Amino acid sequence: MDEEMQAALDWARQSLKEMGVFEAEDGLRWAAAHGIVVSVWRNGPVEDAHASRPTRRRKALRDGTMFARNTWLTRQAFDLLGSDSQFCLYDLEDLILDRDMVWPGCEGTLTDYGWGFLGDIKKHVKQHINMLAHFKRRLPSEDFLLFAGAPRIGTHVDHYGMPRWPACVEAAMSRLRGEDEEFWRTQGDLMTRIGPAPAAVTESLEATRNLLLEAPWELGADTLGWFAWNPILEPAGTTP
């Protein structure tokens, strides 16, 4: 391994350590899964589809749908990275580019949501999977996870699967139970504009908590749309 690559990996290890990745169970694999999904999928042409108005052929790709899709793909990437398959990245590519599978928690397919951008999405996904596959062959297993999980390709500490995600969920549950008076004092007006939590959230806060922690997409895109960009999911101490 050349000195430049080793320096980059050392930097990635230190950065991820400072983010608490190594203190969490399977934290490095989760960070790699998140980084891969961000670089291969989220930060690509799908963002153009997400930002575009729907058409007669293309369904609206709303925040809740992206929330469901991104978290589901992160879980798939995490599971595939833990497999023995030498083709796990290409298995993920197949999942991402499957045009007929209805997205879990959503009401459409890649074709439905990405029409007009499908060629660009395919090109982007394949290019980034091929790049990652090159480094997966070149690097030892842990070094590859460091490379994939490095902050420079999109790791965020408060996203699903990352170290601060449980704190985000617990903060939301506390606020929904009415226990965080400071949050409602400072964010009450904004929360009024956002609107009340869907019944699917409040009918069983424990069930909602467990799904947010383990499988957010199972809450459904409409419900996740309420949580998207909602300060209720910000860890305590981060709201104004």
Give the model confidence (pLDDT) of 117-176 as tens digits.
999 999 999 999 999 999 999 999 999 999 999 866 555 788 999 999 999 999 999 999
Per the structure, how many domains does the chain have? Answer: 2
Residue 219 has pLDDT above 90, yes or no: yes
Q: What range defines the domain where residue 223 resides?
A: 165-233
Do residues 147 and 31 both lie within one domain? yes
Q: Whole-structure pTM over 0.75, yes or no?
A: yes
Residue 99 has pLDDT above 50, yes or no: yes
Residue 13 has pLDDT above 60, yes or no: yes
Give residue-wise pLDDT tens across range 28-49: 999 999 999 999 999 999 999 9
Confidence of residue 239 (pLDDT cuts 50, 70, 90): very low
Do residues 39 and 121 both lie within one domain? yes
Instruction: Give the pLDDT mean for 54-81.
Output: 97
What are the distances in angstroms from CA 37 to CA 117, 118, 146, 159? Answer: 18, 17, 14, 12
Do residues 125 and 192 both lie within one domain? no
pLDDT at 237: 65
Residue 104 has pLDDT above 60, yes or no: yes
Domain end residue (candidates: 124, 153, 182):
153
Do residues 33 and 101 both lie within one domain? yes
Q: Count CA atoms within 13 Å of residue 30 on its CB side.
A: 22
Do residues 145 and 181 both lie within one domain? no
